Amino acid sequence: MEESILVSKIKEQEMEIQKLSFCNKALSTMYDSVRGIKHDFFNFVQALNGYVQLDDMEGVRNMMLSVIGECKKINVAEFMYQEAIQNPAICNIIYHKFYLAKEKHVKMNIDITTNLQESSKNIYALCRILSILLDNAIEAASESEEKIVNFQLFSEYGIKRKVIIIENSYHNKEVDLVRIFEKGYSSKSCNLNEHGIGLWNVKQTLSQNNHLKLSTTKGKMFQQRLEIDC
């Protein structure tokens, strides 16, 4: 009995360490973003003053929209931290993929209306699938004209189920929804040794976890819907 209590306490401590680690990463990134805006503030004022002197209101408007856009990026990061922290592993993945998308000039929209605190069944499998799906979505979006990824996490009322929907813009409308899960298959023309494994791994992971179900559709957006039975 004492051993069981000790194991439980160790797990709680490990979870707290994960939370603190994530907090440090989140705060560090947001702090760097704020420092960047503060560093550029003088240049912003000088540029804004130039538009004002020329009575160029369109220039003033465009400059203000650019600054507001930068501020919103910081707010989104903070939103993710507050809403998803109840599962630090998942939160960490979303956080880092958000900034990966930013680096690839992809706009990642995030809508979280529930948490994954109850989804304790094989969290590693869920993390693995989520990472692959987000990586694929960001890569495909980066090669499209729109460059958009939408991420949703919500609960289905009346059912003990959480749902994750990942949508992305894409240019290859001929992609085969069946073959993409085959080992070695890739819609890319480059070296197949570097592609065609991710979704095959997803398929294998799903086959070992009955509480996870994935459906794939394509239309204006390429969509992956992952259902998680709690």
Q: What is the per-residue DSSP string for 144-198?
A: SSS-EEEEEEEEETTTTEEEEEEEE--S-TT--TTGGGSTT--SSSS-GGGSS-H
Give the per-residue pLDDT at 140: 94
**Residue 105 vs residue 95, higher pLDDT:** 105
* Residue 173 in this model has a pLDDT that exceeds 80: yes
Integer Cα distance of 94 and 140 in angstroms: 17
Give the per-residue pLDDT at 59: 80
* Residue 151 in this model has a pLDDT that exceeds 90: yes
Integer Cα distance of 80 and 93 in angstroms: 11
Integer Cα distance of 53 and 107 in angstroms: 34
- Amino acid identity, residue 125? A
* Residue 67 in this model has a pLDDT that exceeds 60: yes
Those residues with Cβ within 8 angstroms of residue 175's Cβ, 6 or more apart along the chain or in another chain: 187, 218, 222
pLDDT digits (tens, 9 = 90+) for 213-223: 999 999 999 99
Integer Cα distance of 84 and 95 in angstroms: 10
Is residue 98 within 8 A of residue 77, CB to CB? The reply is yes
* Residue 85 in this model has a pLDDT that exceeds 70: no
pLDDT bracket for residue 172 (50, 70, 90): confident
Integer Cα distance of 80 and 151 in angstroms: 11
Give the per-residue pLDDT at 111: 84
Which of 157-161, 171-175, 193-197 has the least mean pLDDT? 193-197
Residue 186: CB atoms within 10 A of its CB come to: 18
Give the per-residue pLDDT at 91: 79
Among 132, 92, 103, 148, smallest CA distance to 214 is for 132
Torsions phi, psi for 44 (to 5 deg)? -60, -45
Q: Average pLDDT in the 7-21 region?
A: 60
Give the per-residue pLDDT at 200: 85
Those residues with Cβ within 8 angstroms of residue 27's Cβ, 6 or more apart along the chain or in another chain: none
Torsion sign over Cα 131, 132, 137, 140: positive
Element at 215 (helix H, strand E): strand 212-218
Give the per-residue pLDDT at 193: 39
Max mean pLDDT range (82-91, 119-128, 179-188)? 119-128
Residue 152: CB atoms within 10 A of its CB come to: 15
Place of tokens 């976890």: 209
Max mean pLDDT range (4-18, 91-105, 186-200)? 91-105
Q: Average pLDDT in the 130-151 region?
A: 95
**Residue 148 vs residue 69, higher pLDDT:** 148
Q: Average pLDDT in the 158-162 region?
A: 84
